Amino acid sequence: MISSQYFPILAFVLLSAVMGLAMIIVNRILARFRPDVQKNSPYECGFEAFEDARIKFDVRYYLIAILFILFDLEVAFLLPWALVFKQLGMYGFCVMAIFLTILIAGFIYVWKKGALEWE
């Protein structure tokens, strides 16, 4: 038997499942599905998705993706730091200044190497 202390969690899970299913059903009822050539064309990856898996492709797509993840995750550290900035004092400011200096130096290095160029 489920303990009464777990009832709010069970209610939350059930409510979220019902809401998720409701949104999917409403989308299927109301949305227009008219795929055309433009909508089904490959994008962002740069090559057809249904070709031979052994074709040559440009590595720049993966390089840009890795750089995006790297810089995105590093910038994600700024929010928690900003929330506790007053408690950290000057030490927290100096540590974040060093972190941002390394981040900016890495960005300049990538930029100078031409990793962000698309030609």
Domain ranges in the chain?
Answer: 57-119
Question: Which CATH number applies to 57-119: 1.20.58.1610, 3.10.20.30, 3.30.565.10, 1.10.3720.10?
Answer: 1.20.58.1610
pLDDT, tens only, 71-97: 888 888 888 888 898 898 899 899 989
pTM over 0.75: no
pLDDT, tens only, 58-71: 777 777 888 888 88
3-state helix, strand, coil in the chain (%, to 5): 70, 0, 30
Which token pair is 24? 């999917």
Distance between terminal CA atoms of the chain? 64
